[in-house]
Amino acid sequence: MTQNPDLQPPVARREPTPTHIHGQTLEDDYRWLRQKDSPEVLTYLEAENAYTAAMMQSTQPLQDRLYAEMLSHIKETDESVPYRFGGWYYSTRTVEGLQYAIYSRRRAAADDSLAADSPEEIMLDMNKLAEGQAFMSLGGLSVSPDGTLLAYSTDNTGYRQYTLHLRNLATGQDLPDTAERVGSFCWAADSRTLFYTTEDETTKRQDRLYRHRLGETAAQDALLLHETDERFNLGVGKTRDGRYILLECGSHTTSEWRYLPADAPEGTFAMIAERVDEQEYSVDHRHGRFYLRTNDAGKAFRLVTAPVASPGREHWTELVPLKPEAPLEDFDLFNSFIVLSLREQGLPTLQVVELGADGALGHSRAITFPEPTYSAQSHVNREFEVRVFRYAYQSLVSPASVYEYDVATGVSTLLKEQEVPGGFQREHYGSERLWVRAEDGTQVPVSLVYRRESFKQDGSNPLYVYGYGSYGYPLPVSFGSSRLSLLDRGVVMAYAHIRGGGELGDAWHDAGKMQVKRNTFTDFVAVTEHLVEKKYGAVDRVAIEGGSAGGLLMGAVVNLRPDLFRVVLSHVPFVDVMNTMLDASLPLTVGEYEEWGNPNDPEAFATMRSYSPYDNLKPGPYPAMLVKTSLNDSQVMYWEPAKYVAKLRTLKTDTTPLLLHINMDAGHGGASGRYDYLKEIAFDYAFLLRELGVEG
């Protein structure tokens, strides 16, 4: 669709604000858009929303159809698989017509089973908390060991600034105990002491650990640790066996852990192993020994153990050596077995290994999966002394499922598969996994899904390519019922597992960050070119999507190859790389130096400037673009996409739509209610389908 000549976009005034560094000048005409409380800024953002609404008005019938289709594929009243913790079974359920989840529990029977007639006890109804609120999000919840109290945290702005609450589960009433800007929290064994971390108000870095005693005010809470290194964040938790409170202090590349007996909350946290730059480790406990996953010997990670009395590196004993071809992604530790989560050829595998009383490795079995591309990982496993292990499985064509694996027999039992109403039949859809040669010869995995009856590998299909490629995050190969609205219209959908992600372990991450970040972008271009060349999609019908760091990807590849893409969906995009990373007062900036580089260093500056989307816009034609952000985003500030769109409007030479939509009541993840979120997806898909000429 071309620009409607009767509709004119807002024009942001230009106020040159140059930055001089390393003998160069960064030009920025729209820095004034950072003034969030300015009436002029808010008026401009509202004008952008009004323009976008007018440009999308003709798609309203399509949006309505898409929303109805997506809703038809959701079981609106549903419940998760209950899991055991202590004397209770916990679950989460949704109710038709209600936006938010309800968290409840039922008491276990005398034989530890879940009795059919056990009455439900509602712990937390998010719908009630959301009354009168435009946004409501749950940060976390934790039941005290004696089962009488609930600690939970909520955010009602989208800024991810959570308030901690304590609730008496017998009465359903919240206690006066509360704290602000809380991140992680966990109970001591006495069920009367709670440890929690808080963030610095400016940088949003979790930098303080407190101890709270029931009945005291936040002002009385003891400050136990203040982490001053701005690269590091704190997180507090507990070992699965409940014996130790664990405190992690971690950056993107380095970690350090402390521990405290859970039954001695007045004690002092002791160090496990002090931080060493570029070394990470994670911890659990079993039978007087800590089990640690660490990359001290290589990027693929190995598993070691150490006695609690002397857990330093000099006492680490290797249990599972590193395997470069199968990076150790995680582990789940139980009384008599351990589950190793590995990556082989970029796909997850689960290895269940028996443990002797002395910790020696015993019989080992792999849980295998049938499809060419999928996701599989540990599910909720709260109990330590069990002989079963729950895991989750899904693929691009198989709905999310929960299985229980019997360690003694090696048999997996399906507990629940997500029901997909509305006529879904998985045999109508096919998935593939390809390897694509990147610019430098590296083989990049790609996951594909399509509707079988409409798919023809003849170069006629509309093609959608999604990517992320940052922070070592493996792009999930997951099922999405909303995706059916595209597949059923003949769209071929591809997910590019590009460098910078974690699909092939830490080495894959390292190959797409810092000074070699360009690999992320050229990988994505190579994947798209290959899919078109092999006729999975039409050369003139390619849509791409990414969000946050994936929004950086969108901006970078559009600058590299604007001719390759027809339409772009860019969510909360990190596009103003230079100005953001040069401002250490912004949330997250200093910690991000380990992912992108520090632009105060000339070499890092040159690399980052070479791909920063905002700084590399130039006159010429661009694809149709829908750029979305939220006013209360705390991770990628709203002004980045706003500035990007304002600048691009002065440079693009064609009439393809360039739309900016700002959610004025949300944060990084968009709308918080499930129905509102579906409407956002319908809006995005209507834009995409219209621009691809696939509205039927």
Residue 202, token pair as written in the block: 């400016």
Sign, Cα dihedral of 420, 423, 427, 433 = negative
Are the CB atoms for 393 and 414 separated by under 8 Å? no
SS (H, E, C) 185-222: EEECCCCCEEEEEEECCCCCCEEEEEEEECCCCHHHCE
Catalytic residue among 284, 332, 576, 633: 633
SS (H, E, C) 461-491: CCEEEEECCCCCCCCCCCCCHHHHHHHCCCC
CA-to-CA dists, residue 595 to 410, 423, 592, 608, angstroms: 40, 44, 5, 11
Catalytic residue among 177, 630, 668, 672: 668
CA-to-CA dists, residue 59 to 71, 461, 586, angstroms: 18, 22, 38
The pairing of strands 361-367 and 255-261 is unpaired
8-16: long-range pairs with CB below 8 Å, 24+: 8/51, 9/48, 9/51, 9/649, 9/658, 10/44, 10/47, 10/48, 10/51, 11/649, 12/44, 12/642, 12/646, 12/649
Please indicate whether residue 668 is annotated as part of the active site: yes
Catalytic residue among 548, 570, 612, 672: 548
Task: Find the helix or strand (DSSP H, E) in which 183 lies.
Answer: strand 182-187
Selection from 609, 505, 498 nearest residue 546 by Cα: 498
How many CA atoms does the CB half-sphere of 124 hold within 13 Å? 27
CA gap 371, 397 in Å, rounded = 9
3-state secondary structure of 415: strand
Neighbouring residues of 324: CB distance < 8 A, sequence distance ≥ 6: 298, 299, 300, 507
Are the CB atoms for 379 and 392 separated by under 8 Å? yes
Please indicate whether residue 633 is annotated as part of the active site: yes
Output the CA angle 222-224-229, nearest 5 degrees.
135
Q: Which residues are catalytic?
A: 548, 633, 668
